[in-house]
A and B are shown apart, each in its own frame.
Chain A
Amino acid sequence: MTDTITLPAGFEDLTELAAHWARATENARSAIRWSASAQDFAGFYAAFMPRLRAALDLLEQVPLEEMDEAQNNLFELACAFAEAAPHHELYGGSADVPHSFSARRFVPGHGDTASRL
């Protein structure tokens, strides 16, 4: 899978990360997050947080409906990071929000809709 993912220039080193984390929909990203370990979150954070500013700067230039494949892959990776970062920053690496209701019982109405739409 890794060799099929293209990313914009300057982000090519993140293809492995994208292969694991980048997905189009919230439900698909949640499934990956729910099975992640503290080490997974820490690794994602260490690799992507220093690149978040550059990624957002690039994506800021792109209308949602005009993303090419590489831009869309970076977008989906950034979406995954946007949702995963609190688990490293706030929840001590836990895949669950501590002291919370089961996230699996929350149904997102948009869960199977691509986040770019």
Chain B
Amino acid sequence: MTDPASTTLKPGAETFAHLGRSVAAIRAELGTDPVSVDAIRDPAIYELEREKIFRRTWLKVATTSELPAIGDYKVKDLPVVDASVLIVRGKDGVVRAFHNVCTHRGNKVVPTSDAETFGRARAGVVTCRFHGWVFGTDGPLRSVPLEDHFGTLDKACLGLREIACDTWEGFVFINMADPPEQTLAEYLGDFGTLFGGYPYAEATTAYRYSTVLECNWKVALYAFSEGYHVPTIHAGSLPGFRGIEHSDFKLIGPHASSTIYGLGMEAAASTAECARVLHGSAAHAPHPEQVPPGINPTRRADFQFELPNVFPNLLIHLAAGCGYPGMAFFTHQFWPLDHGRTLWEGINYFRPARNAAERVAQLHVNALHRNAWLEDTATMEDTFTGIRSGAVDTMQLMDQEFLIRHAARTLDRYLAA
């Protein structure tokens, strides 16, 4: 499949050569033995994951484009760390994260009705509805009704409890550890530079789907972490997506990545019409030149998207319009609700439509991808049931499933630490 016209490396690609692994190197480094399913099956391991992984690693909780204006906030309820997290852009423009917990008696400051709640704080404050305690969007406790009725009240020490928060390329991450063992930049390491530089923030049109899956979070993560399933699971939605190649394996500390190459997806007449609209627009056309240098380093024309696993629970598929027509990138996240329940979130990102036809075409592409996700999610609850039955003790993993093998090893390493 190598494009003979593209044998020279993109400038800068050599910087990432140390991440690349051949199939032989992957086999040598990660092994070829079956991998135990204990970490998926055992509820006791889930309790360890909460403490040793989700309370210690950097977790993506928002994008800066979800919080474009001063005072914009998002509340993310995260049962895996027993927390409700308020992510808010302060008057100084800085995005911070706090426990969404009133320091009076522990009520939620911003009430929530779902896993995600959005709003805008007025006058730079949020007010607890229980007794009216008022907090600045930068954290301090501003005012307390009947303050002089408290015998002692040290307001200076009663601000919202801050959570470590930092951004990378417009993605907002938090770390529940106080303080975190590494900065976000240190934690992302070479992943941050490999994927850095793409104009993610320009893709502000986001279509988010979520569902609660009755399975362990890693069953869902692993199902989305390989290309081996595409010709079978997606025979319905992606009949044109034949001859895919999942290659360019990369190991990046706790993270890993790989590339999906293949032929185009415009198999159906309606898709071809929608692709015509999007590919005819500079904003939505494929932009292989925007793909960072370490990804598709030989400029193959059949590049579809880069498929990484950002430990522990985030996938950012970078396509730059080269895969699904007009799609800049898409993300998956897998939030454990308990050992056997997972909130899955899939989000498709496009640049804003400039006219009504581009919006129609984006909705077509979005629907195709949503339908492919419906095919993906169909396996997950059955897989978990099968694993829980005790019928199998191991997963048999082929080369294209190395992201799973690597994530499982990384998980073991964190749990052993």
Determine the main DSSP class of A at the interface with B. Answer: helix
Which A residue sits closest to B370, measured CB to CB?
A106
Q: Judge whether A90 and B236 touch: CB under 8 Å.
A: yes
A71 contacts partner chain B, Cβ-Cβ < 8 Å: yes
CA distance in complex: A108, B211 (Å): 9
A60 contacts partner chain B, Cβ-Cβ < 8 Å: yes
B356 contacts partner chain A, Cβ-Cβ < 8 Å: yes
Chain B nearest CB from A81 CB (Å) reads 7
Which A residue sits closest to B238, measured CB to CB?
A90
A82 cross-chain contacts in B, Cβ below 8 A: 270, 274, 360-361, 363-364, 367
Indicate whether A60 sits within 8 Å of B355 (C-beta atoms), given known contacts A86-B270, A106-B370: yes
CB neighbors of A among B361-397 (8 A): 361, 363-364, 367-368, 370-371, 373-378, 380
Determine the main DSSP class of B at the interface with A. Answer: helix
Q: Judge whether B363 and A83 touch: CB under 8 Å.
A: yes
A26 cross-chain contacts in B, Cβ below 8 A: 363
Which B residue sits closest to A48, measured CB to CB?
B270
Which B residue sits closest to A33, measured CB to CB?
B367
Which A residue sits closest to B274, measured CB to CB?
A82
Which B residue sits closest to A67, measured CB to CB?
B356
CA distance in complex: A100, B370 (Å): 11
Chain A nearest CB from B321 CB (Å) reads 18
Which B residue sits closest to A104, measured CB to CB?
B211
CA distance in complex: A38, B348 (Å): 28
Count of A residues near B, CB < 8 Å? 41
CA distance in complex: A83, B356 (Å): 15
Which B residue sits closest to A111, measured CB to CB?
B209
Count of B residues near A, CB < 8 Å? 40
The digit string for B331-374, where 1 denotes a CB below 8 A from any CB of A, is: 00000000000000000000001111111110110011011011
The digit string for B263-283, where 1 denotes a CB below 8 A from any CB of A, is: 000001111011001000000
CB neighbors of B among A42-93 (8 A): 49, 52-53, 55-64, 67, 71, 75, 78-79, 81-83, 85-86, 89-91
A61 cross-chain contacts in B, Cβ below 8 A: 355
A98 contacts partner chain B, Cβ-Cβ < 8 Å: yes
A115 contacts partner chain B, Cβ-Cβ < 8 Å: yes
B399 contacts partner chain A, Cβ-Cβ < 8 Å: no
Chain A nearest CB from B337 CB (Å) reads 14
Q: Judge whether A106 and B209 touch: CB under 8 Å.
A: yes
Q: Judge whether A101 and B359 touch: CB under 8 Å.
A: no
A55 cross-chain contacts in B, Cβ below 8 A: 357, 360
The digit string for A7-42, where 1 denotes a CB below 8 A from any CB of B, is: 000000000000000000010000000000000000
Q: Judge whether A99 and B268 touch: CB under 8 Å.
A: no
A1 cross-chain contacts in B, Cβ below 8 A: none
CA distance in complex: A97, B371 (Å): 7
Q: Which 7 A-B pairs have the closest CB atoms?
A: A82-B364, A85-B270, A59-B356, A109-B208, A60-B357, A101-B377, A100-B374
8 CB < 8 A contacts A-B: A56-B273, A60-B277, A75-B359, A79-B360, A82-B274, A86-B371, A106-B209, A108-B370
| A63-B354, A85-B271, A101-B376 given; 6 more Cβ-contact pairs under 8 Å | A52-B270, A82-B361, A86-B367, A86-B368, A100-B377, A109-B210
